[in-house]
Amino acid sequence: MSIRVSVVGASGYVGGELLRLLLLHPGVAVAQATSGRLAGRYLHQAHPNLRGISQLQFVHPDKLEPCDVLFLALPHGQAAASVGRYAGLAERIVDCSADFRLGDPADYRRWYGEEHPAPEWLGRFVYGLPEINREQLRGARYASGVGCNATASNLALLPLVRAGLIDVTRPVLVEVKVGSSEGGAQSSESSHHPERAGAVRSFAPVGHRHTAEVRQATGLRDVHLSITAVELVRGALATAQAFAAGPLSEKELWQAYRAFARAQPFVRIVKERQGTYRYPEPKILAGSNYADIGFALDDESGRIVSICAIDNLMKGAAGSAVQCMNLMCGLDEMAGLGFPGLHPI
């Protein structure tokens, strides 16, 4: 029997990707998709790619009924504000927001400038990146979302961290280039086409909130993020720079990346000597849950450059969320997530 899943915030960009994945997933049936604005309208009115795939209509969030797994794809603060109600409706919740990502309420004060409205729930959510918490997610009831910039940064850094290759007495710097869909479906002055098109815009050179998530996930205390908006709709490319803890060869780096990727069905190493796609590139990952990681070593200085490309709406949000659900419900971890991306695109 199929697992009944519902999506709250289904008219948004992450909600749309969740629907695309869940409607085609072999082990689940989509029960409800909510939207306040579009209640009563067909899914394809918000997500034209879903025309003919489902005859489901959006329902108002107040009409949400019990189901097995509830996906929340809501603006910041909304999931935490109503978590008791949602938990009363479903045995399992997979959130996509930042509301349950950080374990320490003090981090919400510091990075989000506010008190967490439901701190007692923080310890109940497993941080929803299977590449870090696979075993904790198996059978879990509640999984948090992942930040897209944080996910690209974490997957760039984890092979090095796990192998103990980074000199932790020196800062680790990460630059993340991101596409416009990261801002969600609601338009703003800065997303207006003449302002956004062609942009290479320093969006958050310092102080980005996902820094907290990267510190929590990697254990690196002196890691710093800068975020730049670039001419992409989907995609995030993290370029992390760290210095080696001691003498390091490219062979040892290969071993570290292989050891990390071996256990991760959606992580691929991209490092070619020739050709166009010698390092990870988000363009060919659009719609895919794969994260491509690669590296370069500057022998002279011991500087390691580690690169990770993802689709922010997939590995950085909906794809990881469905991967979490698969683990939580005892399904094949890769179920419904096999799409490898497109080339050419």
Count residues binding ligand NAP (CB under 6 A).
Answer: 33
Residue 235 binds ligand NAP, judged by CB under 6 A:
no
Q: Give residues 26-45 in contact with ligand NAP (rule: CB under 6 A).
A: 35-38
Please pick, among 148, 308, 324, 329, the residue that the annotation labels catalytic.
148
By CB under 6 A, residue 78 contacts ligand NAP? yes
In whole angstroms, the minimum distance from the beta carbon of 234 to ligand NAP comes to 8
Q: Any contact of residue 317 with ligand NAP (CB under 6 A)?
A: yes
Annotation marks residue 148 as catalytic: yes
Binder to ligand NAP among 3, 5, 6, 8 (CB under 6 A)?
8
Segment contacting ligand NAP (CB under 6 A): 4-12, 207-215, 247-255, 327-335? 4-12
3-state SS of the chain is CCEEEEEECCCCHHHHHHHHHHHCCCCEEEEEEECCCCCCCEHHHCCHHHCCCCCCECECHHHCCCEEEEEECCCCCHHHHCHHHHHHHEEEEEECCCCCCCCCHHHHHHHHCCCCCCHHHHHHCECCCHHHHHHHHCCCCEECCCCHHHHHHHHHHHHHHHCCCECCCCCEEEEEEECHHHHCCCCCHHHCHHHHCCCCEEEECCCCCHHHHHHHHHCCCCEEEEEEECCCCCCEEEEEEEEECCCCCHHHHHHHHHHHHHCCCCEEECCCCCCCCCCCCHHHHCCCCCEEEEEEEECCCCEEEEEEEECCCHHHHHHHHHHHHHHHCCCCCCCCCCCCCCCCC
Nearest distance, CB of residue 99 and ligand NAP, angstroms: 7
Choices 75-83, 129-137, 204-212, 242-250 (CB under 6 A): range interacting with ligand NAP:
75-83
Q: Does 15 bind ligand NAP (CB under 6 A)?
A: yes
Q: Which residues bind ligand NAP (CB under 6 A)?
A: 8-15, 35-38, 61, 73-76, 78, 96-98, 145, 147-148, 181-182, 184-186, 312-313, 316-317
